Structure 1
């Protein structure tokens, strides 16, 4: 009998091969073709309004039964579900989006909610205490799902690549010994987002739209990887949104968009001044 670790690594290899073989560009005129999937994961750069406009257009095109938001927890999602989705300020208040802070302006995200008023809202955010536990003791700590492989170490090449991405994302300001811990937190988020998407699919029958960052939408190690691991029969499509070209984007589909300058300068400047 194969070990959990060997199954995990084999599944990772298959996911990588699938991403390379099937990836292709996606134009707005083809958004409706995504509707045949059970779960559609659409990535974003959080502060790029072009990406949120595309997410709203995809929501209109596929008429999802549920939308899973990385940005919301379960309590916020329940409050948003009870609010008037056609009144921006009322929905913002119910979700506590602006009052809690931490995400770009609700004006960017509101079109997604308005595009699919029929959709059940789900929040996939991981509680802070669970993230802290993952950082200190590994992603498997406090995670209730089975078969996600969080107790297995990552292949060396992937571990190194993910630590390098974490270093870059944090402006090379993190101590080296913190990088593996940040990877564990990311693994927990990806598995938790997948778990919430599957719950939404079970509850509503789909299609389920997942709104998340491009890193979580990756087919090689993000949410799609865990979905393939625990629910291989589910039809999943991952869409990344890019502002610069990549030779082999790790998505099933990708959209090339313009970049967006929020006029706030280089976010890494604050690290260099400290």
Structure 2
């Protein structure tokens, strides 16, 4: 049975946490986290996408663990293949190469430290292209994924009824209770597709580099009770997979091998966009 470990509960302040240098207690806890993660075939480094502390920690852990490959939730396989390893420390160049300004992700400055820390690794992307998302849902995510691959990663199997209901409730809550009920199964399906796509990219990275592989992704995909580890575990039952979740003010959903805590990032109310659209 996996054990969830809570390593760090950080307080805000300290000059912006030493301008995200993560010194003192942060450095000690990151060292402990690195040792806990070290030796796994796959290390999943979760995040809240707009939390700068989470991204700085990911960069520190990539530097400590030195994976052979890094899988990114935020970019496609084609984008990853086009990256120049020698340029990953040049934030402006990487942002241009990835057309980050039009990606819909938070500003690239948050992700720049992790890309720089990954410069010695092979780069893999797992994002389902926006242009293909509608088609995937229309034909069914298992069909889109391919029958053979869907069977290998377990995407062809429906969720147990209780889990499906729980996931639909989570999707409704995540969308500020503004989603029509008929949309919820599609949202769950697409989340599963993204998990499976992350698992497939990680599987490819393992096959091509021998590992270890690090995955940079949101906490929802990093959780071991639902996320990409479930699908990768079906394809590679002997792989050692360890997952880090990163909370905000102690709040995080799901199960992880360890959790690092940090203050919440300042952000506007995400539900305002739904209120404006009503």
Instruction: Specify the TM-score bucket, using the shorter chain as the normaliser.
Output: 0.7 to 0.9
> What are the superposed Cα offsets for residues 62-107 of structure 1, whole Å, 9 maximum, x if unpaired?
0011110000001211222356122211111112212x23000100
Q: Whole-Å Cα distance in 2 between the matches of residues 120 and 79 of structure 1?
A: 11
Q: Whole-Å Cα distance in 2 between the matches of residues 92 and 249 of structure 1?
A: 31
**1:199 offset after TM fit, Å?**
0.5
SS in 2 for 1:233: coil
Pick one of 100, 103, 110 that aligns with 1:101.
103
Pick one of 206, 224, 227 that aligns with 2:229.
224
Partner of 1:273: 276
Q: Whole-Å Cα distance in 1 between the matches of residues 80 and 252 of structure 2?
A: 37
Pick one of 45, 49, 52 that aligns with 1:46.
49
Partner of 2:20: none
Answer whether contact 1:31 1:61 (CA < 8 A) is retained: no
**1:251 offset after TM fit, Å?**
0.8
Pick one of 99, 121, 127 that aligns with 1:125.
127
Q: Whole-Å Cα distance in 2 between the matches of residues 105 and 64 of structure 1?
A: 25
The alignment's TM-score, normalised by the length of structure 1, stands at 0.87
Answer whether contact 1:80 1:94 (CA < 8 A) is retained: yes
Answer whether contact 1:31 1:62 (CA < 8 A) is retained: no
Unaligned runs of 5+ in 1: 1-17
Q: Does 1:207 align with 2:212?
A: yes
Partner of 1:181: 186
Q: Whole-Å Cα distance in 2 between the matches of residues 101 and 228 of structure 1?
A: 30
Partner of 1:11: none
Pick one of 166, 169, 176 that aligns with 2:171.
166
**1:130 offset after TM fit, Å?**
4.1
The alignment's C-alpha RMSD in Å is 1.8
Q: Does 1:88 align with 2:69?
A: no
SS in 2 for 1:61: helix
Partner of 1:157: 162
Answer whether contact 1:135 1:182 (CA < 8 A) is retained: no
SS in 2 for 1:40: strand
**1:120 offset after TM fit, Å?**
1.1
SS in 2 for 1:185: helix
Unaligned runs of 5+ in 2: 8-28
Q: Whole-Å Cα distance in 1 between the matches of residues 46 and 91 of structure 2?
A: 23
Q: Whole-Å Cα distance in 1 between the matches of residues 252 and 205 of structure 2?
A: 33
Answer whether contact 2:225 2:254 (CA < 8 A) is retained: no
Residues 247 and 270 (structure 1), Cα distance of their counterparts in 2 relative to 1, 3 Å cut: closer
Q: Whole-Å Cα distance in 2 between the matches of residues 45 and 246 of structure 1?
A: 11
Q: Whole-Å Cα distance in 2 between the matches of residues 222 and 161 of structure 1?
A: 14
Answer whether contact 1:48 1:260 (CA < 8 A) is retained: yes
Partner of 1:78: 81
> What are the superposed Cα offsets for residues 168-225 of structure 1, whole Å, 9 maximum, x if unpaired?
1111111001000110011111011001001011111111110111101111111011
SS in 2 for 1:197: helix
**1:248 offset after TM fit, Å?**
8.1
